[in-house]
Amino acid sequence: MTSMPKMPSLALLKQPQPTYYDPETSWQKPWPRVSRLLFKAPFISFGPFLLFLMIAVGIGVGSAYMALTKSSPFEALQSGVWVAHPKAGTDQADPYSAAIFARTLRIPMGSGEGLAFYAVVDDRGQLLDPSCTYTISGKTPPARLWTLTAVDQQLELLATDAGRSYLTSEDVLRSSDGRFEIVASRKARPGNWLPTGLGGGLVFALRLYDTPLTTGAGIADPVMPSIIRGDCQ
């Protein structure tokens, strides 16, 4: 009987082929298989990153909003209760100061015009109240002209019965030593009277025009008038 030839086993057919290095094709490799777990749980993979990104954006936007709405411009010059910002409106102003003035639609005085001081508290540190009487006395830094204005917390003019809410250096009566005394109240007073009205708070704005403070002379310790609180209605 003729015997059938034996077929080679599968193991013999799958002999390992020798590998050869081909510089033109050896860099090509098949794409690695990606586990389906990465597609089933995307929040576990990207959740912490998104949470960190949301926190960072929230802190950045919140701090910028607080700086623009609750803060005053940086690099302030303070003498007593009076505060000024000499670099406001110049090319040396910081970005936050420029943004604050732009948001409030305020135009700061240029360095060639003068310098504006603001007071929101009296000498005891109490907030100014339009229903109270205040005595503003002393001297101002040297200036060709200065004005004293009563404004509200938005720095807008107060509506008064006298039709004005300001005094100028040309209208103020002084003593022999050059000192003055101004009474700020809603009711008329003899002498130097600064009318105030009912409004959203009270702020005194003292603007010095053509003053040497803008050039840096005497800016370290300017002499400013005092603000004493009197009776309140």
Mean pLDDT of 91-100: 63
- Give domain 75-232's CATH superfamily: Domain of unknown function DUF1214, C-terminal domain (2.60.120.600)
pTM score, whole prediction: 0.66
Mean pLDDT of 112-141: 92
- Asked if residues 196 and 72 have their Cβ atoms less than 8 Å apart, the reply is no
Nearest to 84 by CA among 194, 217, 214, 225: 214
Nearest to 195 by CA among 206, 186, 204: 186
- Asked if residues 225 and 155 have their Cβ atoms less than 8 Å apart, the reply is no
- Asked if residues 87 and 97 have their Cβ atoms less than 8 Å apart, the reply is yes
Instruction: Name the band, by pLDDT with cuts 50, 70 and 90, for residue 195.
Output: very high
Torsion of CA 100, 103, 107, 108, to 10 degrees: 0
Instruction: Name the band, by pLDDT with cuts 50, 70 and 90, for residue 134.
Output: very high
Backbone angles phi, psi at 60, to 5 degrees: -65, -45
Tell me if residue 4 falls in helix, strand or coil: coil
Residue range 26-73, pLDDT digits in tens: 555 555 565 555 555 554 556 676 777 788 888 877 766 665 555 555
